[in-house]
């Protein structure tokens, strides 16, 4: 066994990989139906949705609103109660 950390590679093959996520059965069914309507499979559709979400900067979605307010730049915005402890 070597104790040397391998150097970083300049080009890494970006293979497609499957992985599991957890969602309610109703969401699973809706995704399956949407995949069929789009002529693809659930894995490919899910990957496309996640890829698009990441490319968009992982935006928050507001239930019932078409546009979410931008995230606050305040460092205490993410602290519960609005104060740091």
> Where residue 58 falls among pLDDT bands split at 50, 70, 90?
very high
Residues whose CB is less than 8 angstroms from the CB of residue 32 and which lie 6 or more positions away in sequence, other chains included: 42
CA-CA distance, 16 to 46, in Å (whole number)? 12
pLDDT score at 85: 44
pLDDT score at 84: 47
Q: Considering the entire predicted model, what is its pTM?
A: 0.58
pLDDT score at 3: 79
Residues whose CB is less than 8 angstroms from the CB of residue 43 and which lie 6 or more positions away in sequence, other chains included: 18
CA-CA distance, 59 to 62, in Å (whole number)? 10
Chain mean pLDDT for the chain? 82
pLDDT score at 6: 87
């Amino acid at each position: 066994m070597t104790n040397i950390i391998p150097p970083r590679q300049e080009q890494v093959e970006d293979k497609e990989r499957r992985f599991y996520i957890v969602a309610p059965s109703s969401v699973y069914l809706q995704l399956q139906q949407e995949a069929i309507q789009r002529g693809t499979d659930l894995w490919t559709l899910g990957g496309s949705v996640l890829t698009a979400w990441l490319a968009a900067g992982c935006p928050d979605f507001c239930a019932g609103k078409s546009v979410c307010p931008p995230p606050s730049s305040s460092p205490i915005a993410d602290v519960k109660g609005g104060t740091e402890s």
